[in-house]
Amino acid sequence: MLENVEYVKADSFQSVSEPPLLNESKKTISDANVIAESNVEKVNVIMTPNVEDTYWLSDCLKDAQNVIVEYHDEKPDDRNFGDCTKFFSSKTFGVKMQNNGNASGDINLIKDLLSQPSYKIYVHDIFKDDTRDNRRMVTIVLIHQLLHALHPSRIHDSANVQKGINRLEHEIANRASYHDALLNLESLRQSGKITLCNV
């Protein structure tokens, strides 16, 4: 989030002369002179962080969907969708910050339903600050929740021959070079600040 940003008013610059056009005498651009007045008026704007100011979550959601489309090799459980791209394009996803216990994220899944028209995903407010590390961790949390939407029949851990959501998340994150975010999330989990989702 930007704080103490200095803006310069555009009307405080004045152009005295326009650069001459190149003509047949082969003048160069270095011959052109542009003069600007130096009385620049500075305006300070202070922005206060707001938990509801989470515009960047939609960027993370798009990144998570793109990572899954590129690196996830399995089809959605709902066989009406041939691939993840078609699944994501036909569904509505909303992302919101909230303090949802200590779960890093949650998704509203309807039990025994292969897919639903819309999903609400909640991300823990420990990630409320818009930083590079938080964006990367939130993207991993969203990948995890989107995998629950794609594969609602699966549990977190592997069962029989099916890979669990956690394993899929780790494979995708590592293939997409998000291993730093996985390590940061694991640190938060080990410290007790967050837990896995409640799905």
Rg, Å, the chain Cα set: 25
Mean pLDDT over each residue of the chain, to the nearest integer: 77
CATH label, 56-190, candidates 3.30.2010.10, 3.40.50.720, 2.40.10.340, 3.30.70.1140: 3.30.2010.10
- The pLDDT value given to residue 115: 80
- pTM of the predicted protein model: 0.71
- The pLDDT value given to residue 120: 93
pLDDT interval class at 53 (50, 70, 90): low
Strands 105-107 and 118-124: antiparallel
Domain boundaries, the chain: 56-190
Give the angle subtended at the CA of 133 by the CAs of 136 and 49, to the nearest 5°.
110
- The pLDDT value given to residue 155: 84
Provide mean pLDDT across the span 22-33.
42
The answer to whether 115 and 77 have CB atoms below 8 angstroms apart is yes
Chain center to CA of 194: 19
Lowest mean pLDDT among 10-14, 66-70, 96-100, 117-121: 10-14
Chain center to CA of 68: 13
Give the Å distances, CA to CA, from 135 to 10, 11, 126, 147, 157.
33, 36, 12, 18, 25
Residue that wins the pLDDT comparison between 6 and 46: 6
- Outline where DSSP puts E strands in the chain: 5-8, 42-45, 92-98, 105-107, 118-124
pLDDT in tens, 129-183: 999 999 999 999 999 999 999 999 888 887 777 788 999 999 999 999 999 999 9
Q: Is 135 helix (H, G, I), strand (E, B) or coil?
A: helix
